[in-house]
Structure 1
Amino acid sequence: MPSHLSADRPAAQPPGRGSVEALISQTRRLKGDVDAVRRDAQNDGTDGTGPRERWQRALYDLALHQLNDLDEHLAQLRDGPPPAPAAAPVLAARGEAAPGSLLSRVGSAEWNLLTDGASWSGELYEILGVDPAAPALTLDELPSLVLDDDRPGLTSMVTDCLVDAKPIDGEFRVMRPDGAVRTVHMMGEPVLGTDGSTASMWAVLRDVSELRRSQRTVRETSDSLQRHRQQTQTEHRLAVELQEAVLPPWRGSLRLPRRGPQTLDLAAHYLPSATSTLIGGDWYDALELADGDTLLSVGDLTGHGVTVTSGMAMLLGALRGMAMAGTEPGHLMALLNQLLDATVQPALGSAVCCRYRPASRTLVWAQAGHPAPLLFRDGTGRMLNAPDGVLLGATSGAAYGQAEVTLRPGDLILLHTDGLVPGHSGTDALDRLLDLAERFGTARTAQDCVRTVVEEFGAIERQDDACVLIARVTSQDDARA
């Protein structure tokens, strides 16, 4: 397209070849860096299907797409117009680039208002899908290629340019003969004649279909990510509220039973995971039963989120109801297993349930795939021998054993869920807990013992939530005091 004096400024002088070459080098280095980061993100071990991963992938693709465009346009600026292909004299006369040219997505046009003639570059024919042998369309004919919804916008841009000498900068969609819809970005200016009137209009038209597709993908994945975050926040809030509503409301020490001698000094604590969004199904409970016995239990329903927390609430509610009705721990575990086995959504859980009889200081307990209670006495600790019991929900018709132990004044029972000792499991975690025996022996209350556990293990970053419940057997004199 020949140079003209535009309505407001002369044509800019092209930059030197060396400076453009430097920009090309910088652009290609940046492309390599972005591509390397994208490959690292794709190989980070995730499946790439989450909203955040899709959004990141779309942004990387968009960045690389724009850098590729920039690389091509800078190379065009450096190399100048390509030579005309000998095999296509008609297209060469219009200035079309050779096949595979970097100009494949950018075309130009000039419309002469004095002669009503039009001149298009070969690239513009390709972008709009017009037969290169056909005459270039005039400004009046151009809207025939444009989708109906976009015609008023194109007409307004052209009118403002011709009448008010306003620059053109806008987009419209065209329907190619092959049925493909392409988005075209048009930038142009009026060209003034010697008398100051508008003599012609020139424009550069660029196919931005892929760029807009990438931007749309980024926008859609960003919206999806935002919805996912809002949903996650809502589920987290519901899980927290449900957990707080279900777990015992008492804080500090609790003395049970409330009627008669208060022979158990109780304290418990819930320790959240390092990622506060992972609200799990851990629970602890202490409840005075109708016959004066005391129910102690801790448990964990596998998984995280509001569904698991609601399942934990159901399980704990059933446990309380059956215990209040006098069901012994072993049979109670069998009924809880049936309950989980019958739920619509399969779930697994572990639990330990104890019934303390204050008159005889007898602890009757059963477990379902859960760490056994720890007994601390006279400055030492040991794990109680566990009766048989598989995970809740693992198999239909499972039978659960039951064990008894007689406690003494001053004895301390520690119940906990897995993960209480971060980074340790099995016998290693057990040994870490038993090492607290001496400190428990000098503690005055169950609350002091819980505080010791929290001081020892609470500050360590944990991958899962956990809870601990401690019951200290008091004497009649202690109870009256």
Structure 2
Amino acid sequence: MPPHVFADRVADPSPPPHDPVDSLITQTRRLRGDIDAVRRGTPPGDESLARWRRALCDLALRHLGDLDGHLAQLREGPPDVRSVPDRGTPSVLTPVGRHPGTERRPGSPLARAGGAEWNLLTDEAVWTAELYAILGLDPSSAPLTLDELPSLVHPEDQPLLTAMVTGCLIDGKPLDGEFRIARPDGTERTVHMTGEPVLDVDGSTAAMWAVLRDVTELRRSEGDVRRTRESLRHEDHVERAAHQVAVALQEAVLPPWGGPLRYPRRGPGLDLAARYLPSSTSALIGGDWYDALELPDSDVLISVGDLTGHGVSVTSGMALLLGGLRATAVAGSAPAPLLGLLNHLLDASVQPSLGSAVVCRYRPASRTLQWAQAGHPAPLLFRDGTGRALPPPDGVLLGATTGAVYAQAEEQLHPGDLLLLHTDGLVPRHSGTAATRRLLALAPRFARARCAQECVRLVVEELGEREREDDACVLVARVTD
């Protein structure tokens, strides 16, 4: 009986000029080139997104590589099996149009699918050369019988193969399943087997044919994509959790001002308002902070600062600095030595980092302001419709050097004066002198404002609604009668 899988499928020696298979091969190869260009041209940016794109492109390339190989086999036509060799004769099948000695290289796309037929009436087996390459067997050896085939299968998968073959031969079910094979060279491959029974004229099963496809690399690629997906999900979960922790830390540390605040609570002092402005380009919380505290002697401590970076570690570092600042201020430290203590605290922390800060101590009785800065923009003083930046005393960034010493300055304030403290990034796309000029230009509008809260609202309306690349804080303190 001629083998069912190959019968009546001899390739046309003179294919039409517009062969649909050739057209499919050309389209497949063009698509492979396009996808490979996308993979190689993945732009920099989010590393998680880039890894996901590369994984999907690699999987698509493998699928298209397999398709290219199968289409090429289809174009070449079936092997010439018009004469079946004896059981003991080496069964090296020569496909039409190919000469012995030109077998496809194992592992190439064209060697990933092989065919076989087992004749139950004569106990003969016919294999293609590709099947030998997939199973890692010598092409000069006789093809294995159905009884011998399980010897190559992984012990855990042998019951699956037995059930597939039994169902095909007895119940006439088609073959469709995957199993692992242990090749003689010690390597393990995964193959996908499809096939059907061949019925005799009386309806009994006379033979079984099958196509075995090496899907090892494909399954490996799918595993890579699956692990990449799981990794991205895990990273997303971690990022969400970190963001929630950072937000909780920030809300617990920064003063929860829902409206204006007056320090000290009795007599003349400061009318206070502040706002934290998050970055519009990052979901991570930064290390910007503001603070105001009434001290035991009725002095008022105001400060703003910025710890470099984003995330939970930076937010926790900001909480550590604020705790140290409040404790040393309550103990009576002036701004300059207070910054020295904060520098030591940051320099000695488990996760060293850099930060900037400006710390002011206001004495209501004399209306004097003592202040010091650590690499931070100076406070802006607005009076009678004009504004200026206070001359900054010497001070390096917190955490930049061990044992740093900070200078201190003093300013006499008048009733109605307004102080504006801020962190870098308050003025989008501006920094340094340019940012200072933008803020000083608000002086006439501040002169007409009735309270500190209204001044903060003016700053937010002017600068806060635009896209900002970094977090920022603004604190306004207005001297009261």
Alignment partner, residue 285 of structure 1: 291
- Match runs of 1:320-469 below 5 Å: 320-469=326-475
Which of 103, 122, 137 is 1:130 aligned to?
137
Is 1:164 the counterpart of 2:171? The answer is yes
Is 1:115 the counterpart of 2:122? The answer is yes
Q: Counterpart of 2:453 in 1: which secondary structure?
A: helix
Q: Counterpart of 2:425 in 1: which secondary structure?
A: coil
Post-superposition Cα deviations, 1:323-349, rounded to whole Å, max 9, x if no partner, equal 111110000000000111111111111
Distance in 2 separating the partners of 1:78 and 1:327: 88
Supply the AA of the counterpart residue of 1:67.
L
Tell me how far 1:80 sits from its aligned partner: 2.1
Supply the AA of the counterpart residue of 1:278.
L
Is 1:218 the counterpart of 2:225? The answer is yes
Tell me how far 1:433 sits from its aligned partner: 0.8
Distance in 2 separating the partners of 1:330 and 1:343: 20
- Match runs of 1:15-414 below 5 Å: 18-41=19-42, 44-45=43-44, 50-81=47-78, 92-93=92-93, 95=95, 98-100=102-104, 103-258=110-265, 260-414=266-420
Query: Is the 2:104–2:130 contact (alpha carbons within 8 Å) kept by the matching residues of 1?
Result: no
Distance in 2 separating the partners of 1:376 and 1:90: 100
Q: Counterpart of 1:399 in 2: which secondary structure?
A: coil
Distance in 2 separating the partners of 1:90 and 1:212: 32
Q: Counterpart of 2:75 in 1: which secondary structure?
A: helix
- Residues 427 and 82 of structure 1, relative CA distance in 2, 3 Å threshold: farther
Post-superposition Cα deviations, 1:432-468, rounded to whole Å, max 9, x if no partner, equal 1111111111111111110111111111111110110
Query: Is the 1:372–1:384 contact (alpha carbons within 8 Å) kept by the matching residues of 2?
Result: yes
- Residues 390 and 66 of structure 1, relative CA distance in 2, 3 Å threshold: same
Unaligned segments of structure 1, at least 5 residues: 476-481
Distance in 2 separating the partners of 1:442 and 1:75: 82
Post-superposition Cα deviations, 1:13-51, rounded to whole Å, max 9, x if no partner, equal 99976222332232222212211111210xx245x9x44
TM-score (structure 2 length as normaliser): 0.91
Percent identical = 66
Query: Is the 1:334–1:400 contact (alpha carbons within 8 Å) kept by the matching residues of 2?
Result: yes
Q: Counterpart of 2:111 in 1: which secondary structure?
A: coil
Distance in 2 separating the partners of 1:71 and 1:125: 20
Tell me how far 1:262 sits from its aligned partner: 4.4
Query: Is the 2:376–2:423 contact (alpha carbons within 8 Å) kept by the matching residues of 1?
Result: yes
Distance in 2 separating the partners of 1:209 and 1:352: 62
Query: Is the 2:91–2:142 contact (alpha carbons within 8 Å) kept by the matching residues of 1?
Result: no
Post-superposition Cα deviations, 1:212-235, rounded to whole Å, max 9, x if no partner, equal 111111111111111111111100
Query: Is the 1:168–1:187 contact (alpha carbons within 8 Å) kept by the matching residues of 2?
Result: yes
Tell me how far 1:92 sits from its aligned partner: 4.7
Query: Is the 2:254–2:289 contact (alpha carbons within 8 Å) kept by the matching residues of 1?
Result: yes
Moved more, 352-361 or 274-283: 274-283
Is 1:471 the counterpart of 2:477? The answer is yes
Q: Counterpart of 1:420 in 2: which secondary structure?
A: coil
Supply the AA of the counterpart residue of 2:60.
A
- Residues 83 and 134 of structure 1, relative CA distance in 2, 3 Å threshold: closer
Query: Is the 2:118–2:145 contact (alpha carbons within 8 Å) kept by the matching residues of 1?
Result: yes
Tell me how far 1:139 sits from its aligned partner: 1.1
Tell me how far 1:5 sits from its aligned partner: 8.8
Post-superposition Cα deviations, 1:253-282, rounded to whole Å, max 9, x if no partner, equal 111111x21421110000000135221111
Distance in 2 separating the partners of 1:296 and 1:315: 14
Distance in 2 separating the partners of 1:128 and 1:4: 22
Tell me how far 1:82 sits from its aligned partner: 7.0
Query: Is the 2:5–2:117 contact (alpha carbons within 8 Å) kept by the matching residues of 1?
Result: no
Post-superposition Cα deviations, 1:262-312, rounded to whole Å, max 9, x if no partner, equal 421110000000135221111000111111011100001111100110010
Tell me how far 1:57 sits from its aligned partner: 1.6
Distance in 2 separating the partners of 1:287 and 1:132: 87
Provide the alpha-carbon RMSD of the alignment: 2.4
Distance in 2 separating the partners of 1:12 and 1:194: 23
Tell me how far 1:406 sits from its aligned partner: 0.8
Supply the AA of the counterpart residue of 1:66.
H
Query: Is the 1:255–1:262 contact (alpha carbons within 8 Å) kept by the matching residues of 2?
Result: no
Post-superposition Cα deviations, 1:190-211, rounded to whole Å, max 9, x if no partner, equal 1111110111110000111111
Query: Is the 1:5–1:192 contact (alpha carbons within 8 Å) kept by the matching residues of 2?
Result: no
Alignment partner, residue 85 of structure 2: none
Supply the AA of the counterpart residue of 1:71.
D
Supply the AA of the counterpart residue of 2:126.
S
Query: Is the 1:274–1:464 contact (alpha carbons within 8 Å) kept by the matching residues of 2?
Result: yes
Supply the AA of the counterpart residue of 1:424.
H
